Structure 1
Amino acid sequence: MRTPRHSSRYGRYSGGPDPLAPPVDLGEVLDAVTEDVMAGYSPDQALREFLRRGGRNQRGLDDLARQVHQRRRDLLSRHRLDGTVQEAKKLLDRALREERDQFLRDARMDPTDRQFREMRLDALPSSTAAAVTELSDYDWQSDAARRNYEQIKDLLGRELLEQRFAGMKNALQNATDEDRAAVSRMLEDLNELLEKHARGEDTPEDFERFMNRHGDQFPENPQDIDELIDALAQRSAAAQRMMRSMTPEQREELMALSAQAFGSPELMSQLDRLDAALQGLRPGLDWSGSEQFEGDQGLGLGDGTGVLQDLADLDALSEQLSQSYAGSTLSDLDVAALARQLGDDAAVAARTLTELERAMRNSGYLRRGTDGELRLSPRAMRKLGKSLLRDAAGRLSGRSGRRDTRLAGAAGEQTGSSRAWQFGDVEPWDVTRTVTNAVTRTAASGADPSAGLRIDVQDIEVRETEARTQAAVALLVDTSFSMALNGRWVPMKRTAIALHQLISTRFRGDALELITFGRYAQTMDIGELTALPAWHEQGTNLHHGLLLAQRFFRKHPTMHPVLLVVTDGEATAHLEPGGEAWFMYPPDPETLRLTVAQLDAVARRGTEITLFRLGDDPGLVRFIAALARRVRGRVVAPDPEDLDAAVLGEYMRSRSRNGSWGGSGDSFADDDA
């Protein structure tokens, strides 16, 4: 017996998010967010900015919003709203043509009657609505003409119902009188239910009873009366906006024609009653708006209402994609509506953005401070620092003329002996002694070492190293507005983060102080410096920065002092005895005198001083060179993008010389890194 063959078909997955899609990658998001934070954005703004731009292979909100705008513009430029009137006119013209043909074919027709009829048809008003009304009692001689005329009434009835109930136009095509009576009963029951609900007198049983009777006429399959009202009100509001979008002439013509719907004015009465009930129940919808249609494709009432609903969807999507309202998140985005309007690819892009936002907020990379603002978390700062340190170290070791730079952070040369580990030790473990201690302790406790070995803190021994002098490192960074204006703001922050990461992870015995100086100077932790926005602040108060550095060095009298200064300007401000900053450009001689005096005080502590000059302004070059010569310091003039590698290089150069910290040793040098 032959085994039946099975065939398989493959295609795009359309059941929601792709179950085989890779998980979202937060690396690119975090990189973009931290880059924008360093440029002065808040983390929340930076995350929103990424979601707007998108990533390398990810469409952003701006691209989706552009598509929404383009579709809206296409709908308005393609259509006009007189489709129903034009269709009625075609049916009327066909009926009149067939009636006149009947006059010519019927030789037995009384000549007087024919002449009278021809005169009546010739005297019809130019308005389609008026002509249809005029012919309401006309005795048609042609059966085909009569059918075309009756189709006008049928068309109007179906279009009016289609405005409020999607799909009704097709459902009632070739409808019988019984079908129309069923629709009339549904409208009566619906109006009674809505009015009862408005009074607060309805029950779930009332809704169930209504759906049992008329549920087949509601393809939306509402589960309760609120869902029913929402579906009906949105379409009814779109119908009202469509009427207001017509020209006065189109609107007047259509209203006159509507009286002929199904040949019964009762239909319009029921629909007016329905619209009034829905508007009272959902007043927050747009019932009075209008649109400017400029195309040449006529739309009937039903299709036109659908287009107005599409426009309402697009307007809501545009607002959701803008994320400009308070408390907005991408979870507000109606992905189903986006799929209807722009297709599945747009919906997938939106779902991915939503997942990125959710994952980023839940990842631990962002945390909300006591003031309610999002900030980069310590975890994010560690990840950023690790990345920047790795990048800077790679460029540092690849510099021309430099030997491989190792950032291992060893505490000193090993002596060959070991000692018990103490909290804060960074020396490497003596693995042999540690395992031996664990085995001895396990055996002494009576446990069987072969059953498994657990190392306890008391077992750990570390290899002793020669003592090495620790350093107190003060990094002074210029935060005057020229740093941001000339593209040096982000490189300055990268430098501080990389140095902080190096010292906090590899040289934990050293102390680092981050000091910013603009009009005033202040100490900051790495998180504050990373998030520091670029203010339009005049003044380069190196004097105040040096005062704070001197205070830091006094707190660490046993550590070797190291001063690293990053600036792109001459000293133009100083701190007066009362605590106010004095600013003047060109520099005031008093500012220069106080700055030099404070630098001398720092140098007298045996401080190792390196000045990083950003820029080639002649005044800046002379100023920095004079300071370096005075205190036997070093000048490095790196490209801003290479600033982090230059600072790390100077820190490691001083630290590695003779295996310890010593005096400056080198005379003044100006290195173009």
Structure 2
Amino acid sequence: MSRYRYGAYHDGPDPLAPPFDVRDALDEVGDAVLDGARPDEALRDLLRRGLPGVRDRRGLDDMLRQVRERRRELRERGRLDGTLEQARALLDTAIGQERAELFPDPSDDARLREAELDTLPGDTAQAVRRLSDYRWRSDAARRTFEQLKDLLRREVLDAQFQGMKQALQSQDPGAMDRVKDMMAALNQMLEQDARGEHTPDDFDRFMGDYGDFFPERPRNLEELVDSLARRAAAMDRLLASLSPEQREELAGLMDQMMQDAGLAMEMSRLNDALRARRPDLGWGQPEQMTGDEPLGVGDATTALAELADLADLESALGQDYPGARLDDIDEDAVRRALGRQAVDDLAALRRIEAELERQGYLQRTKGKLELTPKAVRRLGETALRRVFSRLTEGRRGDHDQRDAGQAGELTGSSRAWRFGDEQPLDVVRTVGNAIRRNAMENAGAGTTGVRLGVDDFEVHETERRTAAAVCLLVDLSYSMVLRGTWAAAKQTTLALHTLVTSKFPQDAIQIIGFSNYARTLHPTEMAGLDWDMVQGTNLHHALMIAGRHLDRHPDFEPIVLVVTDGEPTAHLRPDGRSLFDYPPSAETLVLTLAEVDKMTRRGAALNFFMLADDPRLVSFVEEVAQRNGGRVFAPDAGRLGEYVVSDYLRVRRGRR
């Protein structure tokens, strides 16, 4: 015998795993669509709200709120002129220490030095440039000035390369030489890439030599360029956010330090290359910082770079631009700003959107999102389930028995299966037939086993149910929207259609919508149907269409249900055109009641479900009830489905 080994499936998704559960999401979208929203609007609103019942997954609005709160915190973190303030303080300290050294000295050289210090410009950058060649008499002043230059050097480099400040903390004199080598190698690599000569090995060698300068550990050149460009653009925005005097002063200090360090040319080459590669990063756009704590150039650049990331993330999470998709949201930006949990929440939202399409509930036709027939069936099942959950008479009858037969009570006998049969399978007779046939066919062959054939199958016979011709007439006029009954009417329609087609498949149901004209509606059309912004409640035309449906099924029991919030105000003229008149004209009422009398002669009782208490409507339906013998209901909109389905079941149970 063959041996089999079983283990985990590694060739893609588990083919036996249950499908991702999107039923709650579909019900949320469906409710919004039934209430008048477009499918794309309903899906967008769902993704913005999230699904609280599904592992408390946050929606886009909650993430957006967190991003805005983080932006506010960053703006209140500090001021952008911290490095200038610190540089001025160190410069003043050095000058004061030098003056203290010169004051006791009566020599002319001391007086000349004091005069030189007196004529120093008020601009810190120009003062530092003048003092770069000054021969300090005070050792303390010399050390303070060196501390100033070291501060500027580290802050400027940290503004360009995050983490550079830490790399230069050591007193190794070769540290700056290594920075020069790194920048030269980086510029060379960017130039090679621009010529199409760069390879992944070049990047790996570069990171092997200088990876400690880049704590974010980029995986390729594009990630490195993106990181450097974001910081360079942030530094540019920092300068744009300062006053003109502060901007000139800080730019002068930075330029002086780069020249002193021998990095001015390499830094200029790098910034030009980054601007050319990423011109979309908002270079030169000012950003307001309102905090009290002074920030160094490096810290301020980090804050501005994060603010820029948050601004882009806020735009993506807002999804307020044409063609917005969840795929537009940068997962890395979400992780940096909101943490790992937010990434998982975003992945769950993306999966809902993708699974609704993959599982066939939503489809895109010419860029337009639409509900599929499968989705409409699901909405009908949900609407029916909600109706049954509210029925006060309990769960009697077969309408909620999912495992029961569909064609009536069992008679105790069975017959051969025919294509299209819905009766339950007679397993004992089916297997018995197969055993007898196999025994005859395999006699003397020595083979074992039983194989089922089509001719072996038998089904239990059931009592035949009397079929019914069901007509549901639904008012589509604009007043249904004004009264807030539009969604309830559509949900009721889907619930009744699902009940008839699933539990009473032998019945013939027709949905008829009417406003100034009447027309037959398919359930798929009904789900996304908009109301008719026209004048007229043409019940006359709707009853004519319903009458033709009953005439096509003369042997069926007639069931006619009418959902409306107004009396007839329109009728069809002999030329086929609709005539509207309000208050209703005598001709409209006469023609409509004539169709009611035809229904009475067909044996069809008209059951009215009034969604308003208008005196004219009440008077009209009472007249119809007297002439036809039908019943009148006045349910709240929230209980409309319960009333309609209950009435159908009451009539249906009495006509088996």
TM exceeds 0.5? yes
**CA shift in 2, pair 1:390/1:439, >3 Å:** farther
In the alignment, which residue of structure 2 is the partner of 1:425? 421
Counterpart check, 1:391 vs 2:386: yes
Q: Deviations over 1:339-382 (max 9, x none)?
A: 2112333333223222332333323333345x453333444333
Q: Secondary structure at the match of 2:309?
A: helix
In the alignment, which residue of structure 2 is the partner of 1:171? 167
Structure 1 range deviating more: 276-285 or 81-90: 276-285
**CA shift in 2, pair 1:555/1:239, >3 Å:** same
Task: State whether residues 553 and 561 of structure 1, in contact with CA within 8 Å, keep that contact through their aligned partners in structure 2.
Answer: yes
Structure 1 range deviating more: 45-54 or 454-463: 454-463
- Output the CA distance in 1 between the equivalents of 2:123 and 2:571: 86
Q: Counterparts in 2 of 1:343-354, with a 5 A limit?
A: 343-354=339-350
Which of 636, 640, 660 does residue 633 from structure 2 map onto? 636
- Output the CA distance in 1 between the equivalents of 2:363 and 2:610: 36
Q: Secondary structure at the match of 1:586?
A: coil
Counterpart check, 1:374 vs 2:378: no
In the alignment, which residue of structure 1 is the partner of 2:360? 364
Task: State whether residues 154 and 262 of structure 1, in contact with CA within 8 Å, keep that contact through their aligned partners in structure 2.
Answer: no
- Output the CA distance in 2 between the equivalents of 1:103 and 1:213: 48
**CA shift in 2, pair 1:280/1:336, >3 Å:** closer
- Output the CA distance in 1 between the equivalents of 2:109 and 2:615: 109
- Output the CA distance in 2 between the equivalents of 1:207 and 1:395: 67
Task: State whether residues 468 and 507 of structure 2, in contact with CA within 8 Å, keep that contact through their aligned partners in structure 1.
Answer: yes
Q: Secondary structure at the match of 1:474?
A: strand
* TM-score, normalization by structure 1: 0.86
In the alignment, which residue of structure 1 is the partner of 2:517? 520
Q: Secondary structure at the match of 2:472?
A: strand
1:68, distance to aligned residue in structure 2 (A)? 1.0
1:617, distance to aligned residue in structure 2 (A)? 1.7
Q: Secondary structure at the match of 2:263?
A: helix
- Percentage identity across paired residues of the two chains: 48
Counterpart check, 1:486 vs 2:483: yes
Q: Counterparts in 2 of 1:198-217, with a 5 A limit?
A: 198-200=194-196, 210-211=206-207, 214-217=210-213
In the alignment, which residue of structure 1 is the partner of 2:127? 131
Counterpart check, 1:646 vs 2:643: yes
Task: State whether residues 514 and 525 of structure 1, in contact with CA within 8 Å, keep that contact through their aligned partners in structure 2.
Answer: yes
Q: Counterparts in 2 of 1:8-27, with a 5 A limit?
A: 25-27=21-23
**CA shift in 2, pair 1:480/1:212, >3 Å:** same
Counterpart check, 1:61 vs 2:57: no
Q: Counterparts in 2 of 1:137-148, with a 5 A limit?
A: 137-148=133-144
Task: State whether residues 599 and 605 of structure 2, in contact with CA within 8 Å, keep that contact through their aligned partners in structure 1.
Answer: no
Task: State whether residues 412 and 460 of structure 2, in contact with CA within 8 Å, keep that contact through their aligned partners in structure 1.
Answer: yes
Q: Secondary structure at the match of 1:519?
A: coil
Q: Deviations over 1:4-53 (max 9, x none)?
A: xxxxxxxxxxxxxxxxxx99642321221111121122333322211101
Which of 544, 556, 559 does residue 559 from structure 1 map onto? 556
In the alignment, which residue of structure 1 is the partner of 2:327? 331
Q: Secondary structure at the match of 1:137?
A: coil
- Output the CA distance in 1 between the equivalents of 2:239 and 2:574: 76
Counterpart check, 1:539 vs 2:574: no
Counterpart check, 1:93 vs 2:92: yes
Task: State whether residues 338 and 347 of structure 1, in contact with CA within 8 Å, keep that contact through their aligned partners in structure 2.
Answer: yes
Task: State whether residues 360 and 372 of structure 2, in contact with CA within 8 Å, keep that contact through their aligned partners in structure 1.
Answer: yes
**CA shift in 2, pair 1:83/1:557, >3 Å:** same
In the alignment, which residue of structure 1 is the partner of 2:77? 78
The one-letter code of the counterpart of 1:273 is R
- Output the CA distance in 2 between the equivalents of 1:93 and 1:507: 94
1:635, distance to aligned residue in structure 2 (A)? 0.9
Counterpart check, 1:610 vs 2:616: no
1:451, distance to aligned residue in structure 2 (A)? 5.8
Q: Deviations over 1:527-563 (max 9, x none)?
A: 1101213454433221221222122223223222221
Which of 289, 293, 299 does residue 295 from structure 2 map onto? 299
**CA shift in 2, pair 1:461/1:176, >3 Å:** closer
**CA shift in 2, pair 1:515/1:342, >3 Å:** same
- Output the CA distance in 2 between the equivalents of 1:198 and 1:419: 80
Q: Deviations over 1:250-284 (max 9, x none)?
A: 10111222233166284334322321222123333
Counterpart check, 1:289 vs 2:285: yes
Give the superposed CA RMSD.
3.0
1:149, distance to aligned residue in structure 2 (A)? 0.8
- Output the CA distance in 1 between the equivalents of 2:106 and 2:585: 117
In the alignment, which residue of structure 2 is the partner of 1:15? none
**CA shift in 2, pair 1:429/1:277, >3 Å:** closer
Q: Deviations over 1:210-240 (max 9, x none)?
A: 5565444344444544443333222222222
The one-letter code of the counterpart of 1:144 is A
- Output the CA distance in 1 between the equivalents of 2:174 and 2:508: 91
Task: State whether residues 51 and 58 of structure 2, in contact with CA within 8 Å, keep that contact through their aligned partners in structure 1.
Answer: yes
- Output the CA distance in 1 between the equivalents of 2:478 and 2:91: 76
In the alignment, which residue of structure 1 is the partner of 2:504? 507
Q: Secondary structure at the match of 2:302?
A: helix
Instruction: Mark the runs of 5 or more structure 1 residues left unpaired by the alignment.
Output: 1-21, 661-673
Which of 20, 36, 41 does residue 40 from structure 1 map onto? 36
- Output the CA distance in 1 between the equivalents of 2:106 and 2:47: 80
Q: Secondary structure at the match of 2:317?
A: helix
1:425, distance to aligned residue in structure 2 (A)? 3.1
**CA shift in 2, pair 1:68/1:553, >3 Å:** same
Task: State whether residues 385 and 501 of structure 1, in contact with CA within 8 Å, keep that contact through their aligned partners in structure 2.
Answer: yes
In the alignment, which residue of structure 2 is the partner of 1:162? 158
Instruction: Mark the runs of 5 or more structure 2 residues left unpaired by the alignment.
Output: 1-17
**CA shift in 2, pair 1:455/1:489, >3 Å:** farther
**CA shift in 2, pair 1:206/1:498, >3 Å:** closer
- Output the CA distance in 2 between the equivalents of 1:597 and 1:96: 109
Which of 580, 583, 586 does residue 583 from structure 2 map onto? 586
Q: Deviations over 1:102-123 (max 9, x none)?
A: 457xx6x345554554454455
Q: Secondary structure at the match of 2:169?
A: coil
**CA shift in 2, pair 1:31/1:213, >3 Å:** same
Q: Counterparts in 2 of 1:188-203, with a 5 A limit?
A: 188-200=184-196
The one-letter code of the counterpart of 2:332 is A
1:82, distance to aligned residue in structure 2 (A)? 0.7
How many matched pairs?
631
- Output the CA distance in 2 between the equivalents of 1:653 and 1:454: 45
Task: State whether residues 439 and 449 of structure 1, in contact with CA within 8 Å, keep that contact through their aligned partners in structure 2.
Answer: no
Task: State whether residues 519 and 541 of structure 1, in contact with CA within 8 Å, keep that contact through their aligned partners in structure 2.
Answer: yes
